[in-house]
Amino acid sequence: MGLRPWLAALLPLIGAQTPAPTTGHECPPPTTLDCAAGLRPSRFVAPSPTGGLRPDCPGAARFLRPDPLTGAVVEVCASHPNGTQVEPRALPVRDCGEARIGGLAAYLEHVYYASGSGVRRITGNQDIEIAGAVGEIVIRGANFGEDLEYLEIRAKHCKSLIRISSEELRCRTGDPGWVGPRASPLDRNCIVAKTTKGGVGGSTEPWASRYREAELGDHAPPAIFDVEVSLSMALRTRAVAVDGDGSVFASSLGSEDVFGGIIKTTETDVQVFLRDAPRILGLLFVADEKCGLLYYADASRRLIGRRSACKAGRAGDAHETIVMKNVDEPRGLSLDPSSPNHLYAASSNDIIRIDLESGKTDIVIRGQAHDAPDGVLVLPLPDNAQLRGDRSLRLLWLDANRVSVRAATTAGTRARTLKTPPEALRFPRALSLNTDGRLLVGEWLGRIWSLSQSMRDGELLRPDASTAAAAGVRAAVENEELRRSRLQPALYTLLKV
């Protein structure tokens, strides 16, 4: 008999003092993150009320560039080579949360892209976010048995639930509503756990949980004492790559409250893959007989590196192999599928080729001062390639200062601009090959195109009507610069992020 009569008398009192687990709609809803995943708008960018050009620019030239914080197109009046006398302004005014496409990758019927504030997936008519932050929720309590069924946070099930012990659970998530900066506080009343034996349980006190365990034994419900959110950081995504199993690698440009490095997500689990790398502008996954290799263009350290796709860690650790040092603004990586030892990359104004066996590097496309190549892609060798040499235009790249896809041979000869249907591109930055053999082109301002390799047709996978105003501004600037080019060289600048 022992304690059972006492417990029988105390249980009604315990039930009255212990709040029942609350459901999601009773918890405070997550607050909306600031624009650009918590980044503050640039104080140097003022909106243009009309979206038009300035009536007159002092100095010799006018140029545009993408603004990295707001996603807007910025008009700058240049007064002299070292600066401006007129403050830049945004053209056009943009709403919060619009995409800034920086990277593309395809897997099966899915198209993944870096939206600037997260990683999103297009499948058919669906366009959903699969990671918008990186964080881990730690739940401490009691009776988290082996028969744990689920963990519910704000009425949503944790997709990546890790049972550390019967006293600790962990949920890794990329949902900014749970763990992102400026989200509403997450308290234990918003979390419910369920086991097969103990049923449903939630927030309570340790003493109440002990009474329940003494009374019910193995069938005592799970109890939650404490909740902690760790690694809570927003994302500012720039480049993406997909491995052979569909896991997505994405780089995030870091700042004070934004994660800087590479994450890995399987859509149910978001992990930190590489830390201390705040400015990775290009990613490339290459399959091998093991886990595969991940190449990355690290602009902050001016190098191109690689590591096993199974070796998470920190930039510069023992698992990193440096492919090339002293690279100015590396980005846009691509391996030649017909010559796997040749790695192509954009660097500042040029496109370079690296021989992975010998380490020899060549500049295959030497750009001009206003060139800003990105999104490098090398197509497979055509079946009808002539034995005397490959003269096909297999080397493709984009340039944010140009309105079409650029092409050349892998040796850099016969460089030309391809006419891109059905209309001109607007600040293109991301280039990839879809699984159906079509080209994927992402624009900085949000549109994603599916183009045939012959450039005979194009389909818009992701529209963005706000880029129309930017296109009109861009056309006006190009006409103006064309007129001035007869008098003196035009000044071009692109912020490479």
- Please report the pLDDT score of residue 40 as a whole number: 39
Tokens linked to 401: 């200062």
pLDDT of res. 494 = 41
37 compared with 349, residue with greater pLDDT: 349
pLDDT tens-digit series, residues 71-112? 556 666 665 444 445 555 555 444 444 557 889 999 999 999
pLDDT of residue 272: 95
Return the SS3 of 162.
strand
Domains of the chain: 4-26+134-232 (no CATH), 31-98+466-497 (no CATH), 103-130+235-463 (2.120.10.30)
pLDDT of residue 73: 61
In terms of Cα–Cα distance, which of 60, 64, 57 is closest to 495? 64
Q: 372-413, pLDDT tens digit by residue?
A: 889 999 999 887 665 556 788 999 999 877 889 999 999 999
Distance CA 23, CA 293 (A): 43
Which of the pair, 250 or 81, is modelled with greater confidence? 250
pLDDT at 339 over 70: yes
Q: How far is CA 328 from CA 276, 316, 345, in A?
A: 19, 18, 11
Q: Is the pLDDT of residue 438 over 70?
A: yes
- Using the 8-state DSSP alphabet, how is residue 215 labeled? H
134-164 per-position pLDDT tens digit: 999 999 999 999 999 999 998 889 999 999 9
Using 50, 70 and 90 to split pLDDT, how confident is the model at 31? Answer: low
Question: What would the two tokens of residue 125 be?
Answer: 């008519």
Q: Does residue 11 surpass a pLDDT of 50? A: no
pLDDT tens, position by position, 307-334: 999 999 999 999 999 999 999 999 999 9
**Cα–Cα distance, 466 to 447 (Å, whole number):** 10
Q: How many CB atoms lie within 10 A of CB 52?
A: 14
Mean pLDDT for the stretch of residues 216-235: 91
Residue 126 has pLDDT above 60, yes or no: yes
**Low-confidence winner among 107-111, 297-301, 426-430, 440-444 (lowest mean pLDDT):** 426-430
Q: Which of 44, 58, 55 is nearest to 90 (CA)?
A: 44
What's the pTM? 0.81
Q: Which residue in 431, 275, 273 sits closest to 345, CA to CA?
A: 431
Place of tokens 């099930």: 157
Structure tokens at 174: 């990329």
Other residues' Cβ atoms within 10 Å of the Cβ of residue 10: 14
**Lowest mean pLDDT segment, chosen from 356-370, 430-444, 457-471:** 457-471
Q: Is 260:247 a contact under the CB 8 Å cutoff?
A: no
Can you name the residues that pair with 224 across neighbouring β-strands?
141, 203
Terminal Cα-to-Cα distance of the chain (whole angstroms): 72
Q: Using pLDDT thresholds of 50, 70 and 90, give the confidence band for residue 497.
A: very low
